[in-house]
Structure 1
Amino acid sequence: MSEDIAGRLLDAALNHVAFDGWSETTFRAATSDAGVDPVVARGLYPRGAVDMAIAFHRRGDEAMSQRLKEIDQSEMRFRDRVALAVRTRIEAVDDREAVRRGTTLFALPMYAADGAKLIWGTSDRIWTELGDTDRDFNCYTKRATLSAVYSSTVLYWLGDDSLDNHATWEFLDRRIEDVMRFEKTKAKVRSTPVLGKVFASSEKMLGKVRPPRNIRNGLPGGWTAPR
């Protein structure tokens, strides 16, 4: 029941975000439009429109996951699957202005941590949908790299006026190509006698890092002590 009310409030808020942003004005207008008691609305979204913006982002993550499950990716190269996931996540949102306003909101110092958690959460969701099972330091590097690719592509998309966002998808392909080039360079370095030993030593130490079983407050990080 509470999820239905929260969804109604969020839908109502989207009618005002383009004009008032993710603000208290939007929150109050949404509460009035949805016919929800202000006390109930505040209970569902304690920080008002800020929590609504977070819910809006997570709604996009859910939509992406559902769409990816409906697409046959068995014959696709892995890099193409990554590009598809990022593109699907962006296309899962119809309201570009709501994303623009959210980007502005989470660029503010007091909400920057919330924004970082959301981007990390999206990257983690994508890797999970792609079947990633790494539980070592690679888990973090993959998500950190994808977070950079995803966030830069979103920013490009917000200013893209090309037909069917063609320029954005070309930009995305270039970013993924940069990542693949970097991975190839790492592989070459590992094969050299001296630097290869340095890499091996570093990776052995970093191999003690483990993703937490229960992520608190959306924050990644954990350390498995040697036994």
Structure 2
Amino acid sequence: MTSPYETAKDQLLDAALIHVPFDGWSEATFRAAITDVGLDEGLARAACPRGAVDLALAFHARGDQAMVDRMKAEDLSALRFRDRIAAAVRYRLEAVEDKEAVRRGTTLFSLPHHAADGAKAIWGTADLIWDTLGDSSEDVNWYTKRATLSGVYSATVLYWLGDDSTGHQATWDFLDRRIDDVMQIEKIKAQVNENPALSRMMAGPNWLLSFIKAPSKTSRSDLPGSVTSRP
């Protein structure tokens, strides 16, 4: 059952999106949304203690959910895994109905005092993509996969914001190139592991990395995960 606070936040977000292109994710936008909805200000502040910042994060989360819903509805089984990743990122961007709202959010989360919120939101998107695709990593790979995808996603969003090509084809081409770059890194890592001399050289670092474990499902909202006493 949806709580009154979540209902209020959804109502405020819908109302705020009309004002964001003009006033950004600002206090002015938040107050205008309260007025438009006719909501008690106390309830609005309880639902969004940080005002428009919480609405910007709710907007991002709404896009994430639309992406996950589409990923589950589409049949991706015939695609190579790298193409499933590309499809997921594309679905995430295609879930955006107002590019200006994303542009304004990028500006907001580039501010030093909101940068951590922005980074966490992007990490959350990458985490949802990997989880929905069935990633079962339990070691340091859990982190490297999400960190790498966060970088790819961030770069693609910035490119997409300035892309005026038909159907955003230039963005999808850019995304494919970024994923190809990542695959080259993975290829090099595999070659290192297959080379006996290099493998011995990396034995110490790999042993240390073996202590790093993925966070539990219940602690995903707070990173990093855990370090075990034994690998």
TM-score (norm 2): 0.95
Cα distance in 2 for residues equivalent to 1:153 and 1:176: 10
> Which residue matches 1:221?
225
Does structure 2 retain, via aligned residues, the 8 Å contact 1:117–1:219? no
In structure 1, how many angstroms separate the alpha carbons of the residues matched to 2:23 and 2:222?
28
| Structure 2 residue 31 is matched with structure 1 residue 28 | yes
What residue ranges of structure 2 are gaps of 5+ in the alignment? none
Q: Structure 2 CA distance, aligned partners of 1:219 and 1:9?
A: 29
Indicate conservation of the 8 Å contact 1:63/1:92, yes or no.
yes
Q: Tell me what 1:176 maps to.
A: 179
5 Å-filtered alignment, 1:1-227, equals: 1-213=4-216, 214-215=218-219, 218-226=222-230
Deviation at 1:205, TM superposition (A): 1.7
SS at match of 2:136: coil
Structure-2 separation of matches of 1:125 and 1:200: 32
What amino acid does structure 1 have at the position aligned with 2:36? D
Q: Is the 8 A contact 1:119 1:147 kept in 2?
A: yes
- Note the C-alpha offset of 1:133: 0.5
Structure 1 segments of 4 or more deviating over 6 A?
none
CA contact (8 A) 1:117 1:218 kept: no
Deviation of 1:194 after TM superposition, in Å, equals 2.0
User: What percentage of aligned pairs have identical amino acids?
Assistant: 60
Contact 1:73 1:81 in 2 (8 A): yes
Q: Which runs of 5+ in 1 are unaligned?
A: none
Q: Using the TM superposition, give the Cα deviation of residue 216 of structure 1 relative to its aligned residue in structure 2, in angstroms.
A: 6.5
How many residues align structurally? 227
In the alignment, the residues of structure 2 paired with residue 4 and residue 54 of structure 1 have an alpha-carbon distance, to the nearest angstrom, of 15
1:211 deviates by: 2.0
The alpha carbon displacement at 1:220 in A equals 3.0
| Cα distance in 2 for residues equivalent to 1:216 and 1:65 | 17
Q: How big is each residue's C-alpha offset from its partner over 1:18-56, in whole Å with a ceiling of 9 and x where there is no partner? A: 000000000000010011111100000000001110111
CA distance in 1, matches of 2:104, 2:202: 42
For 1:73 and 1:168, locate their aligned partners in 2 and report how far apart those are by CA, in whole Å: 20
1:204, CA displacement in angstroms?
Answer: 2.5
Cα contact 2:215–2:223 (8 A) shared by 1: no
C-alpha distance in 1 between matches for 2:204 and 2:29: 53
Q: Secondary structure at the match of 1:174?
A: helix
Contact persistence 1:119–1:151 (CA under 8 A): yes
Deviates more, 1:59-68 or 1:184-193: 184-193
Contact map agreement 1:107 1:115 (CA 8 A) in 2 = yes
How high is the TM-score relative to the length of structure 1?
0.96
Counterpart amino acid of 2:219? I
